[in-house]
Structure 1
Amino acid sequence: MNLRRLEHLVALAEERHFGRAAERVHLSQPAFSRSIQALEQETNLRLFEREAAEVRPTPAGEFLLERAYQILLVSRGLQNDLQLYGRSQLGSLAFGIGPFPAAMVMHQVVPKLRQQLPALALRIEIYNWNILLDRLRQEDIEFFIADSRSFIAEQDVLIQPLAIVPGGFFVRPDHPLAGQNIRMQQLLPFGVATTRLPAETRALVASAFGLASGDPLPVVLECDDIALLRTVAMQSDTILGVIHGSVAAALAEGELVELQVSDQPELLSSFGVIRMKHRSQSPSALRVIAEVEAVLRQMGADLADTGSKPG
């Protein structure tokens, strides 16, 4: 089946108009119409209902469209990979990463990549997982790394598990609760600053606070900028709720300390690589993911050495 005709099928389904679709693929309208007719003759199916106001895919057209998107995605991925291999270089890479893993690993991974692979051009998108999923499906990024518990796998994507990392509550050293053995209820008056939490984590924390179903969490600042969250915690009585790795440097420098909460639930994040199922990974993507895995393994070993339990 001709890939060009499948591209024309997608264009017409999305534009719902022969003239606009033809312009989009840089064809005259008669030539575009002949291409759609040829596809209908090839499949022996009526693929579009041609109405006065707009053109709509028939059920047969919808059936073919679903597979056309997959075929074209694979084709574009193959073309990209062949170009990379043909130039014998890694080229460029755009990928996404959630706020927690970005704060935890990117400061180690990116400088190393710049030193070892100076020809590799990187574009890194740092957002929460639902924005990154849209970017992935739009082919704006090749993959993203996020807390995979937030993500319900669908037919078009794959999740590659990376690591499970623990979280906690952190404050400045002279905070009223620092150095005490406390309970979750004592956090309530101060408020918590954190990123956008997965539904599973929100429910777990709400239960630990003794909140009724539907009651809002005591989150006074929700932000995907980990650096800003750290600054707020260091300069106020606000309690920072994040994973350990995202505040490792602040803990080492004594700028933050972890609260000892006797009834704290087991707060875990499960990092994973999310990518399109039918798209092969480029050499540069594989290299970046390998570097992230190496940093996470080392952090897990360090936590084990200090007696922390990552889960």
Structure 2
Amino acid sequence: MDLRQLRHFAALAENGSFVAAADVVGLSQPAFSRSIQALEHSLDCQLVDRSSRELRLTAQGLLVLEHAQRLLLGAHKLRNELVQFNGLSAGELRFGCGPTPAQALIPEALADFVRAYPGIQIDWEINHWDALSKRLLEEQLEFFVADARDFLGDPLYQVQVLSPSIGCFFCNSGHPLLARASLTLSDVMQFPLVAPRLSPSSRRAMARVSGRGDFRATVECGQFDAILRIVERSQAIGVATRQALQAPNERGALVELRLDDLPELRFSYGIIRRAGKLVSPAAQAMIAAIVEADQRQGASASGASQ
């Protein structure tokens, strides 16, 4: 058994046929079949049910596939991290974040990172918090940025809390609410609400503010640009942080709503890693860039509020 054979077997399982898998790995079909047969011989078991017209793995095949995927991932991570120890001139980085940090914080940090380390290949995933946490535990991501409150105290995660973000409601510049001399939360709740998919802690915070038993937006969306477009083209009210809304606000198309009875709504974002797991040098550098960008944005927000 060697990694090459395991890679061939994983390709077979992924592509569903000997012909397609052989093409993917760049072998002739006879050579590919011999590689799978050699793996079966070395493990002394049958991996593929050859009596079926469709490709099916045996029970032993499914077990081998599970271990093969872990071994191949581990080998890839080892090569990647060894390359990065030579000065971050090459290698790859995989991380994720929620829709709100993706609007301002992460692009600013990524700009700094790309300037400093142009040779690193980056796979940046924008998704909601529960999908990102699953990807982290499966070791498909090295870290992600999302609402930290649901991960604090969980032994599976290590959390580095960032500066608090202030939440707000916003609408388009022609919205009828802007004609009123004063606004309350009940006025806002008469309109459809558009927001990213919120974590349980954020939903509870929004429920307390809105006086509801639970909070669900009329439209939940994983792409912040889509939320902005919906609000720009309808009477829906958007939910965001002031940092995320800053750039769209500069264009004048969107306006933050100032409510007389709205208490300060805080979102607590953080950098979330697997507890007890070392991250690659590239991940360490990216985390440092995020922290620096967060500090700059926090200082800018404090100056603007004074």
Structures share a fold, TM > 0.5? yes
Distance in 2 (CA, whole Å) between partners of 1:108 and 1:158 is: 25
Does the 8 A contact of 2:80 with 2:92 survive in 1?
no
Partner in structure 2 of residue 78 of structure 1: 78
Q: Where does the alignment leave 5 or more consecutive residues of structure 2 unmatched?
A: none
SS in structure 2 at match of 1:50:
coil
Distance 1:149 1:224, change over 3 A: farther
How far, CA to CA, are the matches of 2:13 and 2:120 in structure 1? 37
Contact 2:166 2:264 (C-alpha < 8 Å) held by counterparts: no
For 1:166 and 1:87, locate their aligned partners in 2 and report how far apart those are by CA, in whole Å. Answer: 34
Cα deviation digits, residues 237-265 of structure 1 (max 9, x gap): 75432123323567899985563464659
The one-letter amino acid of 1:63's match is L
- 2:193: which partner in 1? 192
Counterpart residue number, 2:240: 242
- Given that 2:98 and 2:146 are in contact with CA atoms closer than 8 Å, whether structure 1 keeps it comes out as yes
| Corresponding position of 1:291 | 289
Partner of 2:39: 39
Contact 1:188 / 1:218 at 8 angstroms: preserved in 2? no
State the shift of 1:195 in Å.
2.6
- Contact kept, 8 Å, 1:129 with 1:150, in 2: the verdict is no
Match for residue 18 of structure 1? Answer: 18
Q: Decide whether the 8 Å contact of 2:145 with 2:269 is kept in 1.
A: no
Residue 98 (structure 1) shift: 2.9
Aligned CA RMSD, in angstroms, stands at 4.8
Letter of the 1:55 partner, please give it: L
- Secondary structure in 1 matching 2:89: coil
Letter in 2 for 1:47: L
Q: Deviations over 1:160-214 (max 9, x none)?
A: 544373442234798356766x3x323212443433334554465356545577x
Equivalent in the alignment of 2:6: 6
Q: Distance in 2 between matches of 1:123 and 1:96?
A: 8
- Could you list the runs of 5+ residues in structure 1 that have no partner in the other structure? 152-156
Is 2:163–2:294's contact at 8 Å kept on the other side of the alignment?
Answer: no
What is the CA deviation profile of residues 261-306 of structure 1, one whole-angstrom value per residue up to 9, with x for unaligned ones?
Answer: 646595534333468x99x744333212211022334555777899
Q: Deviations over 1:91-124 (max 9, x none)?
A: 6656544321122313532443355445556665
Q: Distance in 1 between matches of 2:52 and 2:222?
A: 48
2-side partners of 1:59 and 1:223: how far apart? 38
After TM superposition, give the deviation of residue 28 of structure 1 in Å: 3.2
SS of the residue 2:169 aligns to: strand
Query: What TM-score, normalized by structure 2, do the two folds share?
Result: 0.68
- C-alpha distance 269-40 of structure 1, shift in aligned 2 (>3 A): same
Q: Which amino acid aligns with 1:5?
A: Q
Structure with the largest fraction of strand = 1
Aligned to 1:175: 178
Q: How does 1:106-145 map to 2 (within 5 A)?
A: 106-117=106-117, 124=124, 126=126, 128=128, 144-145=144-145
The aligned amino acid for 2:48 is F
Q: 1:230 Cα deviation (Å)?
A: 9.0
Counterpart CA distance in 1 for 2:167 and 2:280 is: 36
User: CA separation of 1:84/1:57 partners in 2, compared to 1, >3 Å: closer, same or farther?
Assistant: same
User: CA–CA distance in 2 between the matches of 1:121 and 1:38?
Assistant: 35
Partner of 1:154: none
Supply the distance in 2 between the matched residues of 1:227 and 1:44 (Cα, whole angstroms).
54
Q: How does 1:80-99 map to 2 (within 5 A)?
A: 80-85=80-85, 89-90=89-90, 95-99=95-99
Q: CA–CA distance in 2 between the matches of 1:264 and 1:87? A: 48
